[in-house]
Amino acid sequence: MRRIDLWAGVPLCFLVSLADRILKAIGVKGRGHGQRPRNILFIQLAEMGTMVVSLPALRKTRELFPDATLHFLCFGQVRSSLEMLNVIDTRHIYTIDSRSLGSLVRDTLRIRSVARRAGIDTVINLETFVRYSSLLSYMTGAARRVGFHRFTQEGLYTGDFLTHKVMYNPHIHTGHVFLDLVHALVAPPGGIPIVKRRRAGDDLSIPELTTDADTAAAIWRKLQALAPGIGPAKKLVVLNPNASKRFPMRMLPLDSYADLARYLLDDPDVYVLISGVAEEKSDAVHICSRVNSPRVVDLTGHTSMMELLHLFNLSKVLITNDSGPAHFACLTGVHIVVFFGPELPDRYRPLARSYDIVYTGFTCSPCSSPYNQRQTPCNDNLCLKTIDVREVSALVRRRL
């Protein structure tokens, strides 16, 4: 998909930019140009964790445009994570099947008709310098297209057909940058970049999910079926040793997780739960075999997304790589310990009430960023391999 985005995306963005310039020259503007947005489409395709980070921007959009209907476009495999947040009416969530080139092309070509039926007049593209999502925003036919523009930065060409060009700032949290996209719709025209504002007053708070007694009891029954000695009097520590297969350099080594689990089990009241989807069971099996304790429980494939969130609410600490669970856990009361290496914590730290960042601060970090579509050239992630898990276990014990 990255190769397609480069080799097909660049010439297509150029051609669309040329066509857009010709249409402007002959006085053709999109429908609803200059009016208040009534149907706003957000585009965020593949990142599950980014769904949570976008919540403050969605909340601000509702505040600025209370009469507008919010819509969302994403890949089919992350739809469930968006539905779980319960912020967009499911009737207004549209998906693209990216599992094959054929389905990707088919659903892409349908976007125009889907957008017309929904009356989309405004698009906010949350993707950073992805040509495919930029082209999608234009294909909707929306009069207002908001997104990140490269301005004088080389190598980030995504065409020149945005109506509201926002500067991407890599030195502040992504939550603030997403809010810039929303503020662009009410910013005075003519400014370059269009948004110039203080971020001190931004509300990046995340709503908290509550777990009622019946739901908690169901989670405890599921846990006790796997580990009979577990119960509410025990201290639950969840390990998420996984990251997307697209970002293997974000992963702390599995043996480090095993060592960390062993240290934590020095406390006889601690149970270590290994989370993940069924496809990640081999990682959990590796850790369990290394630790060889009945208080290490393999939960891979045993929980739905909602069950996992309720499990977080019953747990004391989540220890995780920089990945989706670090962000979804912000919806709960669990304390989060997250490992950063190839990415900057200032840019993607969880928007949680209680968290710790473990970051070695190597001079080569960040090697993964929106500027290279998160492709790192690294072949040995020493930034994570050199983390002292004894120190991490001491940190977790203090939090417990």
Pair (160, 230) in one structural domain: no
Q: Is residue 205 part of a domain?
A: no
Q: Is residue 174 part of a domain?
A: yes
Residue 351's φ and ψ, nearest 5 degrees, are: -85, 50
Domain end residue (candidates: 138, 167, 186): 186
Pair (217, 182) in one structural domain: no
Q: Is residue 357 part of a domain?
A: yes
Answer yes or no: is pLDDT of 310 > 80.
yes
Question: Which CATH number belongs to the domain containing residue 328 in this structure?
Answer: 3.40.50.2000
Pair (99, 229) in one structural domain: no
- Domains in the chain: how many in total? 2
Q: Is residue 198 part of a domain?
A: no
pLDDT in tens, 99-137: 999 999 999 999 999 999 999 999 999 999 999 999 999
Pair (275, 164) in one structural domain: no
Pair (353, 318) in one structural domain: yes
Instruction: Compare 375 and 184 and report the one with higher pLDDT.
Output: 184
Pair (270, 392) in one structural domain: yes
Residues of the domain holding 244: 213-399
Answer yes or no: is pLDDT of 26 > 90.
no
Q: Which of 135, 166, 149, 143 is nearest to 73 (CA)?
A: 135
Give pLDDT, residue 34.
65
Could you count the other beta carbons within 10 Å of the beta carbon of residue 104? 17
Pair (86, 172) in one structural domain: yes
Sheet of 122-125: strands edge to edge?
93-96, 69-75, 39-43, 122-125, 144-149, 164-167
Pair (242, 170) in one structural domain: no
Pair (158, 286) in one structural domain: no
Q: Is residue 199 part of a domain?
A: no
Q: Is residue 203 part of a domain?
A: no
pLDDT in tens, 323-356: 999 999 999 999 999 999 999 999 999 999 999 9
Write the CA distances from 145 to 32, 135, 182, 184, integer angstroms: 12, 11, 11, 10
Q: What is the mean pLDDT of the chain?
A: 93
Q: Taking a C-beta distance cutoff of 8 angstroms, is the pair 205, 56 a contact? A: yes
> b or e along 290-312 (b: 16 or more beta carbons within 10 Å of the residue's beta carbon)?
bbeeebbbbbbebbeeeebbbbb
- CA atoms in the 13 A half-sphere facing the CB of 23: 14
Answer yes or no: is pLDDT of 371 > 90.
no
